Chains A and B, each alone.
Chain A
Amino acid sequence: MVDDSTKKSLSGIPLLKTKAGPRDKDLWVQRLKEEYQGLIQYVQNNKSADNDWFRLESNKEGTRWFGKCWYIHNLLKYEFDVEFDIPVTYPTTAPEIALPELDGKTAKMFRGGKICLSDHFKPLWARNVPRFGIAHAMALGLGPWLAVEIPDLIEKGIVSYKEKSEG
């Protein structure tokens, strides 16, 4: 089930139009532009809602993405590296978002630190091809995952707070 706050943030992300994957040359560039516009809009929405929680960038082909995401727990900020590849079958299949530094620390992950998404994610994604993009995957996949897993990992002492220089 998608909770209300997730639904709300989803509704603020523009839907994409171009059905193209990394093998589609020019059409992929078009899709990539839509992806960036969607992400920029989503990050701006998050900032204005005082819920800024990730940054992403890609290689110039747009096939490999990396950045940071963070989660605030008891006023402390826990930050993690995020990365994923765009599969050749994108956007029919969603990107598999990974947090490599948590690999092996939780059972809710597949090899390489790929997060284990809820049963609802894949059907919802499949119904919304090609309108959902990377921003939707973050909102619907990584966001809820962090909200459930990080407090649990902190409580178990598996993840601990690290002092960071930047705010």
Chain B
Amino acid sequence: MTLVQLQQRIKELEEQLKQERIKHEGVQQPVRDKISQMSSEVVDSNPYSRLMALKRMGIVDNYEKIREFTVAVVGVGGVGSVTAEMLTRCGIVLFPCSCSRLMALKRMGIVDNYEKIREFTVAVVGVGGVGSVTAEMLTRCGIGKLLLFDYDKVELANMNRLFFQPHQAGLSKVEAAAKTLVSINPDVAMETYNYNITTMDNFQDFMNRISHSSLSGGPVDLVLSCVDNFEARMAINSACNELNMSWFESGVSENAVSGHIQFIVPGDTACFACAPPLIVASNIDEKTLKRDGVCAASLPTTMGIVAGFLVQNTLKYLLGFGEVTYYLGYSALTDFFPTMRLRPNTMCDDNHCRQRQVEFQAKPPVQKEETGAAVSGGNEVVHEDNDWGITLVDETIEVEDSRHGDVALGLVAGIKTAYSIPAPEVSSTLTNEANLDSSISLEELMAQMKSI
């Protein structure tokens, strides 16, 4: 074989390998890079050259406008499928982000600046049942940039949730997610972080990332918590209180039949540490709930619904349409959706929360309103005398006054705190006054512990 033939053969084999990989991994690689602006340049790689030529020739004077239109093809049979293909090849549906269906929101007067979506950066923390679907929705909406945080791997046990596919088992969730998302919409910038945000080093990096990773190098526009544990939620809460960044908390209960989203604006609303975790009444007697042998159940439905609520409110907040809901609960068994707005706890444990509250109170009223402009309304139900915190989980502990401080949280019917916290002064029933000797050095103590 000649050199040229060999080179030709290598090329063919590489192409075959590529096809096999696609088949094997099931992930469709984007066939080409994103095209942000339709060009009329006549080169082989430009799929629009022949269309834009219509403009050059003076037949159509604004061909690129094609990307703003929506066409509904009803019936995708012999005529319909070819019609759809023709439209696609004309440039109508090729770009999910600046896509016509979404731009139609603008034409219909729902959103007045949909294309602004491309300027926003959102951090999704936790890429599990809720987070992966959230990231996919934002990707399909054409969000500017996504930051994905998770330290878990895809497992076959995750297949009862949406998004991930069996062939991705073993891959890190962020890596697998980024691959799929980029293939869905190559226009979205993507950064992935495969670590646990609650440990010292990672937390510092997490704070740096969310405060410097927007498309303009500033803080991200919104942080979405899609994590599945209290520790990570509290870590996000500390970071956002410290950095003064708004965020959405989301969650699905361990019994899979209730969920919630909560919009947290430091200083303005209750932060995640202002009260014990809230739970949506599921109408199941907790005592009859069997937990034998399992930690948690999950359903793709509940998770998909919560992700939908989360992204819907994210879009409303970012693009400034409709009303952002501060707290939206979902009880699957009764299809009950309580909403409310929570005031911050002046005695919150988090000192940055208290600091933000002081700053918020010092703002002139107009500005306060502005802060809440995009988020006006909501069901501001305040029940001063609501007996929140009535749940007593452990009977061996004395009943505490559940309304310590002046926390009139304003919980609506159907929402309660997971447990109550005693007032700071009340001493525990397990009191055992320690006389800890502070003269001993840490090194001595470490050595003592080792030598036991």
**Could you say which of A89, A107, A131 contacts B198, with CB atoms under 8 Å apart?**
A89
Residue interface bits B383-401, CB-to-A below 8 A is 1, else 0: 0000000000111110010
Q: Which residues of B contact A37 (CB under 8 A)?
A: 434, 436-437, 440, 445
How distant is A110 from chain B, measured CB to nearest CB, in Å? 6
Residue among A1, A7, A61, A89 facing the most chain B CB atoms (10 A cut-off):
A89
Residue of A nearest to B199 (CB): A85
Q: Which residues of A contact B152 (CB under 8 A)?
A: 111
A72 within 8 A of B: no
Q: In the bound complex, do residue B432 and residue A12 qualify as a contact, i.e. CB atoms below 8 Å apart?
A: yes
Q: In the bound complex, do residue A93 and residue B230 qualify as a contact, i.e. CB atoms below 8 Å apart?
A: yes
A87 within 8 A of B: yes
Q: Which of B70-78, B83-91, B416-424 contacts A (4 or more CB under 8 A)?
A: B416-424
From residue 407 to 452 of chain B, which have CB atoms closer than 8 A to chain A? 418-422, 428, 430-438, 440-442, 445-446, 448-450, 452
Q: Which of A13-21, A75-83, A157-165 contacts B (4 or more CB under 8 A)?
A: A13-21
Q: Which residues of A contact B34 (CB under 8 A)?
A: none
Residue interface bits B126-158, CB-to-A below 8 A is 1, else 0: 000000000000000000000000001000000
Q: Which residues of B contact A34 (CB under 8 A)?
A: 434, 436
Q: In the bound complex, do residue A123 and residue B393 qualify as a contact, i.e. CB atoms below 8 Å apart?
A: yes
Q: In the bound complex, do residue B421 and residue A127 qualify as a contact, i.e. CB atoms below 8 Å apart?
A: yes
A99 within 8 A of B: no
How distant is B394 from chain A, measured CB to nearest CB, in Å? 5
Q: Which residues of A contact B230 (CB under 8 A)?
A: 93, 122
- Given A58-B446, A88-B235, do A127 and B199 touch, yes or no (CB 8 Å)? no
B273 within 8 A of A: yes
Q: In the bound complex, do residue A123 and residue B446 qualify as a contact, i.e. CB atoms below 8 Å apart?
A: no
B79 within 8 A of A: no
A109 within 8 A of B: yes
Q: How large is the interface on A (under 10, 10 to 19, 20 to 34, 35 or more residues)?
A: 35 or more
From residue 25 to 76 of chain A, which have CB atoms closer than 8 A to chain B? 29-30, 32-34, 36-40, 43-44, 47, 55-58, 60-63
Q: Which residues of B contact A124 (CB under 8 A)?
A: 394, 397
Q: In the bound complex, do residue A96 and residue B433 qualify as a contact, i.e. CB atoms below 8 Å apart?
A: no
Q: In the bound complex, do residue A2 and residue B394 qualify as a contact, i.e. CB atoms below 8 Å apart?
A: yes
Q: Which residues of B contact A17 (CB under 8 A)?
A: 434, 436
User: With A and B bound together, what is the CA distance between A61 and B450 in angstroms?
Assistant: 16
Residue among B419, B430, B450, B452 facing the most chain A CB atoms (10 A cut-off):
B430
B335 within 8 A of A: no
User: With A and B bound together, what is the CA distance between A88 and B436 in angstroms?
Assistant: 24
Give the number of chain B interface residues (Cβ < 8 Å): 50
Main secondary structure of the interface of B (DSSP, over half): loop
A120 within 8 A of B: yes
How distant is A162 from chain B, measured CB to nearest CB, in Å? 24
Q: Which residues of B contact A2 (CB under 8 A)?
A: 394, 396
Q: Which of B14-22, B37-45, B287-295 contacts A (4 or more CB under 8 A)?
A: B287-295
Q: In the bound complex, do residue B198 and residue A57 qualify as a contact, i.e. CB atoms below 8 Å apart?
A: no
Q: Which residues of A contact B446 (CB under 8 A)?
A: 36, 57-58, 60
Residue of B nearest to A85 (CB): B199
B349 within 8 A of A: yes
Q: Which residues of A contact B199 (CB under 8 A)?
A: 63, 85, 87-88
User: With A and B bound together, what is the CA distance between A17 and B294 in angstroms?
Assistant: 35
**Could you say which of A1, A32, A127, A131 contacts B419, with CB atoms under 8 Å apart?**
A127
Residue interface bits A87-108, CB-to-B below 8 A is 1, else 0: 1110011001000000000011
How distant is A116 from chain B, measured CB to nearest CB, in Å? 4
Q: In the bound complex, do residue A120 and residue B394 qualify as a contact, i.e. CB atoms below 8 Å apart?
A: yes
User: With A and B bound together, what is the CA distance between A15 and B428 in angstroms?
Assistant: 10
How distant is A63 from chain B, measured CB to nearest CB, in Å? 5
Q: In the bound complex, do residue B393 and residue A119 qualify as a contact, i.e. CB atoms below 8 Å apart?
A: yes
Q: List 18 A-B contacts (CB under 8 A).
A: A15-B431, A16-B436, A23-B200, A36-B446, A37-B434, A37-B436, A37-B440, A62-B442, A85-B199, A87-B198, A88-B198, A88-B238, A107-B293, A111-B152, A119-B286, A119-B393, A120-B394, A122-B418
The 8 closest A-B pairs by CB, nearest first: A14-B434, A123-B419, A36-B445, A116-B295, A87-B198, A89-B234, A88-B203, A123-B393
User: B residues engaging A (CB < 8 A)?
Assistant: 152, 196, 198-200, 203, 229-231, 234-235, 238, 273, 276, 286, 291, 293-295, 349, 393-397, 400, 418-422, 428, 430-438, 440-442, 445-446, 448-450, 452
Starting from the known contacts A12-B432, A33-B445, A60-B446, 4 additional A-B residue pairs (CB-CB under 8 Å) come to: A34-B434, A63-B200, A127-B419, A128-B430
